[in-house]
Amino acid sequence: MSTEIGENVGSTAQLAVASMAVAVAIGVPLGLMAALFRSSWFDAGSMIVALLGVSMPSFWLGLLMIVTFSLHLGWFPATGGGDLWHLVLPAVTLGMIASAIIARLTRSSMLEVLGQDYVRTARAKGLAWWGVVVRHALKNALIPVITIFGLQFGNLLAGAVIVETVFSRPGLGRLIVGGILAKDFPLVQGTVLFVATAYVLINVLVDITYAFVDPRIRFG
């Protein structure tokens, strides 16, 4: 059992990290720009896209990715695991859904921070607007966003069960599905326990990260 988990954990970890990178690269800038241009067409459009992303099942998005970018365009391989080209479609499938949640939370957190007194004070001192946003507002707005990073990372591990099956990609997700079909319950229990432990450790690391982002937590 431990050998099988060890052989598959690398592929799932690679998928989860790549998916989170996609989610952060899309979600944080989208939420930030939506907050800065509040009540504009960009704000409305980005939140509609985020709503669609939250509502989209991962298996449906994965099949849509395969049909569009593999069968019709031929840009990426449809199934299997191996080089980075096989990682693109599964990572985007998982990352797009997580990016929608991160974008919505980033927007709401930034709107709350931009209304604080210290932001208005920084602007009154003559500091550049983008300097205030990046150096003062964004750093404080990232506290709840970092929290959702840990929660979404656990969701990515759970979503890997579906995505790895859709893309026929090796990993812990397919290992769990194979164990269920073969009625190998010790394998399923061991794999689920491993994933749950990883989820707990990731959230512990998220709690530690708070101290580096917010000095008030470090000195409190």
CATH of 2-114+125-219, one of 1.10.10.10, 1.10.3720.10, 3.30.70.1560, 3.40.630.30: 1.10.3720.10
For 117, the token pair is 């007194």
Sign (positive/negative) of CA torsion 134, 39, 52, 107? positive
126-183 residue pLDDT tens: 666 666 776 667 777 777 777 777 777 777 766 677 787 788 777 777 778 778 877 8
Q: At what angle do helices 138-166 and 2-36 cross, to 10 degrees?
A: 130
Within 10 Å of residue 57's Cβ, how many Cβ atoms? 11
Give the Cα separation of 88 and 39 in Å (integer): 34
207: left (phi over 0), alpha (psi -120 to 50) or beta: alpha
97-119 residue pLDDT tens: 788 888 888 888 887 777 777 77
